[in-house]
Structures are given as C-alpha cells and as structure tokens.
Structure 1
C-alpha cells in the first residue's frame, strides 16, 4: 500500500513540475496565438463534420455524408465519456491548487480530462480513419498537438488531463468504427 501511495505522489509531483515548466517557459509573445489555438478546439471539432455534412448533402455525395456523420458521432461519444469522467472525478484545476501557475484563459469545469484535448484528438483520429492521405491528417495532427500544449501552457490543465483527453480521443473513433456494424463494414 505504501508503494502505491509513493508512486501516486511521485506522479502527481511530476505532473505539477511539467505543468509549471510549460506554464513558465512559454514564449509570452505567442500567448495570443496560443489562446487562439485553444479557442478553436470546439469550433473545429463541430465545424469540420458539420461542413462535411453540408457539402455532402448539397452535392448529394454519400461518401462525404457518411464520413461527416461518422466524425460527428465519434466526437459526441468522446464528449459524453469526457463529461462523465470530468464530473465523476471532479479534479480541481491546477491554478486553483497551485498559486504559482499562471491562468491565462478560461477554465471553469473540473480539470480531468481536458475537454479541448479530447475534442482535438478525437477529430484527429476520426480523420485518420476517414482519410488515408496525410495531406488531411498532418494539419489536424499539428493542430491537435498545439491544442493539448495550449491547455498546459495557459495553466488550465495538468499534463495528465491532456493525456486523458488524448486517450479518450484516440479510443472513441475506434470504438465507434468497430462497434457499429455499418461503420465496421465501411471502413474495413
């Protein structure tokens, strides 16, 4: 039991140390850009599949429609899991616990997992499943990594919160792909 307590304590200390370093070693002149990136998470997560659906239905393109719905449902699944965990675990935001962490953007709900990171990574992994070309994948990957970084640099999430968002964002599209027969048949 003592070993588990020491291990958890060491992980928590590492979590805070990484956050502190990222928060205080950011390039401050880039703060507006980092705040812009963080504010795009929800917009892109919902905007990309909605635009795909609008284009798909206006062009009567079943291929685009199907993939738009798949991305949207992947995001909704990830949001549901993230919200349940967020309020079930109810982790306090780092800037409320550690006064040396600079809070540079909004962060009101519980901390774990990062909803912004969940949205960014679920969009990326859904795009990986839907599009085989890296010309679509690479910009979304770079953006998702920047969103995850932004949540820590701006002082509103621990690294493990971002990691939790990454895990949920990774798993959700794959669960949907393999659990729903229509998606399993289409993507395999």
Structure 2
C-alpha cells in the first residue's frame, strides 16, 4: 500500500471517530453538538477540563466543529501517511484505519511528553558532560599532571623531576599503528 492510499484510509479512520463523537453528543444532548452550550449540560457539574468561568461560554457553532473535524482528518491522514511511507511493506488497510483512529490521541500524548523528554535529555546531556570532565580531571591527577582548570599561571610543560622529562614519548596514535604498505592493520 502506498503512502497516499494509506493516508486516505487513515483519514477515513479519523472521520469515523469524529462521527462516533457526533453520534454520542446527539444521543446525550438531543441536539447537534455545536448547539450545546456549556450551561445547558445536564447535570451541570464541574469537569476537570473546564477552567473557571468557562461554564457559561456560548455554543461553539458549526464552523468550529467543521474546523475541528478537518483538523482531525488532517492529523489522521498525515500520521498514517508517514507511518506507511516509513514501513511500506507492513502497512495494510486495517493497520492504516487503526492508525487513523488513534492518531489524534497519539499526537496528544506525545505533545504532553515532549517537554518532559526535552528536559530529561538536557539533564542527561549535562550529566554526561560533567561525568566526562570529572573522569578527565581524575586521570590527570593520577598521572601527576596539574588539572588545566586549576592553573596557577605557570605554563604546563614536562615535569623536571619526572623520569620521562626530556625523553619523547612513543607515538601510539592511529597513524603510527597503520601498516606502511597501506594495509591499515596494527604493527
């Protein structure tokens, strides 16, 4: 199934979920959902998703419901098309329809988790930088060299009392380990 066909099937899944929402609203309020005002909801109770003073807002109207429906179709089709383009061999019409059904909910969940993921990723990256810096400082202290972060104004150089002073260290880099014939193996 190509990505465009999968996107259309996903949009049909989103439309079917929108139709279920409209059917539930008509059954509950006995009128079209865009004509339901928040103060006419029976029983009038405080819901968790209603902010203070929102109980007396006017009905949203049919234009708002059409915009919401079109946006749901767009989200369902786009997410299904992306999944189908990523995994073309495993996308069939049933999978595309189910992705379209759950697309809006999945996007809502991801958007609530993104600030947490960014915050934790920043902490993890900062923690990794701090760990590397601490390991480097410990390695320098164990080798007897002064910590570059704690310089006293002296220019770092070979220690005069060390046994390796004045004698060059052998080069153990990658270039020194390569075969002169170009084989790339260790010598």
User: Normalising by structure 1, what TM-score?
Assistant: 0.26
Q: Highest Rg: 1 or 2?
A: 2
**Between structures 1 and 2, the one with greater helix share:** 1
